[in-house]
Amino acid sequence: MFRRFRRLRLNGNMRSLVRESAFSKDDLIYPLFVTYGSGVRREIASMPDVFQLSIDEMILEARAAYAEGIRAVLLFGIPEVKDSVGSDALSAHGIIAEAVRALKAEVSDMLIFTDLCFCEYTDHGHCGIVDPKTGSVDNDATLELLSRQALIHAEAGADCIAPSGMMDGVVAHLRAALDGAGFVNMPIMSYSTKFASGFYGPFRDAAGSAPEFGDRRSYQMSPANAREAIAESLEDEAQGADILMVKPALAYLDVVRALRESASSPIAVYNVSGEYSMLKNAAAFMDYKRVLAEVMVGFKRAGADIIITYHAREVCRLIDEGYACAIF
Ligand code: PBG
């Protein structure tokens, strides 16, 4: 009689005792879309239960999330005016600078991560300055602008900046700019492995950031390349990134695992907009809470330390209900 695997599965307390992976509220970063105006709470058509929020509404959302146990948000800005260089991102009174100051004043214990990129701020929707000669993003000109954006976020009171534009050399450039201005304690969470993915579709709706021409394949990675993905994350770690990231998450858990085995920095996964929408839209056909718990524990099992997810508040509720413990 062969009895090796089932004997530890027969009792719930025993299953809890031998459970290898778990997720907790401490792992979560909750992304928020901040827009101009007041009293604005506009649902994003492709992302049920996710909203574009004016600063006053964002604060209400952050406060509610804080009360549920979330301690970190990631802010994206949707400016009133977009132009070729993304001027709003370079102004001390731009949408993110104002949002950071307001949120710090109201929910001072909440960690504020800010996305550092230009696609939400430019009229052409690319992640930096477009070189008119090549029609492609000018790497080094964009680095200069990203450093200016980083200092604006730092001066406003952000706790961590998160460059997402996939420019080469960005981490070293930002580190030098921050250190030079005295922000030696400002960490950098780099979008160090970011694939050129169709899963960002709903986000581009949410932020109005779809490129007007071309696509992002000259700066984001090929979904086919795992070795390159690891190399680029390790390069960012060598340049001084404090937290690495794999994005999207679900189709790339092999990369998370491989990175976990070669990097020593904390690793975040970004459970992106398209992954969120897939689950929400399939809720009627599955046990939604159960699937959500499986997805979250899958990230942890793969080796992630941090989970950036639009499901963050739902995950807090699952945890409060003891749901994961009850089903695994
Ligand atoms: C900005 C940025 C994007 C996302 C995060 N930061 C969009 C993109 O690269 O097109 C996507 C997030 C999501 O899909 O949830 N560069």
328 residues of the chain, pLDDT tens digit each = 788 899 999 999 999 999 999 999 999 999 999 999 999 999 999 999 999 999 999 999 999 999 999 999 999 999 999 998 899 999 999 999 999 999 999 999 999 999 999 989 999 988 888 888 888 899 999 999 999 999 999 999 999 999 998 899 999 999 999 999 999 999 999 999 999 999 999 998 888 788 878 888 888 999 999 999 999 999 999 999 999 999 999 999 999 999 999 999 999 999 999 999 999 999 999 999 999 999 999 999 999 999 999 999 999 999 999 887 777 8
Nearest atom in ligand 1 to the alpha carbon of residue 115 is 6
pLDDT at 59: 98
Rounded Cα gap, residues 25 and 28, in angstroms = 6
Q: What is the pTM of this model?
A: 0.96
pLDDT at 209: 82
Rounded Cα gap, residues 321 and 118, in angstroms = 40
Pairing of strands 47-54, 111-116: unpaired
* 194 C-alpha to ligand 1 centroid (Å): 9
pLDDT at 2: 83
pLDDT at 282: 96
pLDDT at 44: 96
Rounded Cα gap, residues 102 and 100, in angstroms = 5
Rounded Cα gap, residues 170 and 163, in angstroms = 8
- What are the boundaries of each domain within the chain? 4-326
Give the residue carrying structure tokens 């000018």.
Answer: 138
CATH number of 4-326: 3.20.20.70
Going from the C-alpha of 321 to that of each of 9, 220, 226, 327, the distances in angstroms are 22, 39, 37, 11
pLDDT at 325: 73
pLDDT at 35: 97
Positions marked active-site: 194, 247
Q: Do residues 61 and 54 touch, judged by C-beta distance below 8 A?
A: no
Rounded Cα gap, residues 189 and 204, in angstroms = 21
Rounded Cα gap, residues 196 and 66, in angstroms = 32
Structure tokens at 67: 């009360």
Which residues have any ligand 1 atom within 6 Å of their CB?
115, 117, 119, 127, 164-165, 200, 203-204, 272-273
